[in-house]
Structure 1
Amino acid sequence: MPADPATPTRIAVQIQPQHTDYPAIRRLCATLEQMGVDVLLNWDHFFPLAGDPDGRHFECWTMLAAWAEATERVEIGALVTCNSYRNPHLLADMARTVDHISEGRLILGIGSGWFERDYDEYGYEFGTAGGRLDALDRDLPIIRDRWTRLNPPPTRAIPILIGGGGEKKTLRIVAQHATIWHGFGDAETIAHKHEVLDSWCARVGRDPAEITRSAGVAPTPGRTREQIDSYAENAQALYDVGTRLFTVGLSGEEYDQLDRVRELLAWRDDVNR
């Protein structure tokens, strides 16, 4: 289903909390907010995903609480929280608290989990991909129910962002529970996933227009940095198939490389005119 042209285009930056110190993360948050980025995201892992596997790394949700105090305008969240790492009632309460600290700027990004080292070193049962998705399906209604029973309740209906593109389970869960769907791939892949998601919405009785479509903006796979396509051109291709939230990631060693963010912000302002 094509996105409503009136839906504003937004830019998110995933500040990957690896290979850096926290003061650098805090400075980057302030810089990106001043530049006009719409959403700041981190991720929910315990070890780096690239580079030195034992390099410096920081935890997700304590960081989000700090961001809630350190920023004023941007929405904040994880891309994405691992459902396996916390009791769903506790996660609901954590999210409600960060929602209040931020005065209503939290997005609950959540997924079923995949990074086996996190599970092994922190004592969680890894299980199977299907089992982890079943747990996510089970826990999302628990989270939403807990929000109705907390005192005080959340300041708003906290948006739920679900990441992942599995067509048999994940996109059904998205159709049932998500405010935002985040996918991965080129425009052709994303367009196909949109069609599958729309079909799931029809099956579960959900208006597909209620789900904002999000995707990562990355250079063409296999190209060197000198050969990369324009980030704006890649974003435009995704925009043309209905994406409206665009994410670019920055790892610790890239925090001063903001040209791609500037390019995307200029493109966003142009399409939103």
Structure 2
Amino acid sequence: MIDRPVRIGLQLQPQHMDYDTIRRTASEAEEAGVDVLFNWDHFYPLYGEPDGPHFECWTMLAAWAESTSRVEIGALVSCNSYRNPELLADMSRTIDHISAGRLILGIGSGWFERDYTEYGYEFGTAGGRLDDLAEALPRIESRLGKLNPPPTRKIPVLIGGGGEKKTLRLVAKHADIWHSFADAETLEHKLGVLRGHCETIGRDPSEIEVSVAGNPESRDRMHELGGRLFTLGVGGPKPDLGELRELLAWRDERNA
């Protein structure tokens, strides 16, 4: 049984602000003590003006690898559909080296249809995209084992989503971190499903870190259920880290 401390993530949504603001906010979050700095893998804003300013995920992660020094970095989450799995593995290995071993490979099957249609990817169906992810994950793992130089560490894989038949089975088989978007009641149920998938393949479910939202009204219950990585989302044009600082204080109380 793995006993994990509480960790705090900030999803710095790359929308509605210039890059100077993004870089400055990332530095402020690291100085404040955040454990993980995430962005997301979309091409257009998800909130606010749909055609507002927005930046690409993986080029930004490479920049964060240079502009930060302590925090882990990653996408919450990267879309499997946009990149050949072998290429994504190589990108991950490269940022792993640039960051001196701080990359988390967050990945999911994709869902935002505009990203696909505007950039020329086939949207298909939710089930088909999950099947593609199931095919991609072993290919990513295989390519990571072939690269020269190899990654500096076993790059943690974070899988996002809560589908019980396909996604959670992939989590049990491949993930080091599972990110759930569920409320507390739903999380309790899905953790039971995940434990069942782990039992089927002979894996200890405590090996998988449970990642959830950092909402003040539910975080204590989420912690009781096993949540250990709590992430707050912040976007532009003027990102406010006040709630993040309060969440960091809660982490420190929990970990004392």
What TM-score do the two structures reach when normalised by structure 1?
Answer: 0.92
Counterpart of 1:183 in structure 2: which amino acid?
Answer: S
Partner of 2:169: 172
Counterpart of 1:263 in structure 2: which amino acid?
Answer: E
**1:88-237 matches, cutoff 5 A:** 88-218=85-215, 231=216, 233-237=217-221
Secondary structure of 2:150's aligned partner: coil
- For the pair 1:238 / 2:235, whether they are aligned, the reply is no
Q: How many residues align?
A: 256
- For the pair 1:87 / 2:84, whether they are aligned, the reply is yes
Contact (CA 8 Å) 2:17, 2:238: kept in 1 or not?
A: no
Contact (CA 8 Å) 2:214, 2:247: kept in 1 or not?
A: no
Counterpart of 1:142 in structure 2: which amino acid?
Answer: R
Shift of 1:162: 0.1
- For the pair 1:269 / 2:244, whether they are aligned, the reply is no
Shift of 1:97: 0.1
The gaps in structure 1 that reach 5 residues or longer are 219-230
Shift of 1:184: 1.1
CA separation in 1, counterparts of 2:219 and 2:69?
Answer: 26
Shift of 1:254: 4.6
1:143-198 per-residue CA deviation (whole Å, 9 max, x = no partner) reads 00001100000000000000000001000010000000000122111111111100
The gaps in structure 2 that reach 5 residues or longer are none
Secondary structure of 2:237's aligned partner: helix
CA separation in 1, counterparts of 2:190 and 2:238?
Answer: 30
CA separation in 1, counterparts of 2:203 and 2:132?
Answer: 22
CA separation in 1, counterparts of 2:210 and 2:138?
Answer: 21
Secondary structure of 1:12's aligned partner: strand
Pairwise CA RMSD of aligned residues?
1.0
- For the pair 1:54 / 2:81, whether they are aligned, the reply is no
Partner of 2:243: 260
Partner of 1:65: 62
Partner of 1:225: none
Secondary structure of 1:27's aligned partner: helix
1:56-93 per-residue CA deviation (whole Å, 9 max, x = no partner) reads 00000000000000000000000000000000000000
Secondary structure of 2:203's aligned partner: coil
Counterpart of 1:76 in structure 2: which amino acid?
Answer: I
Partner of 1:44: 41
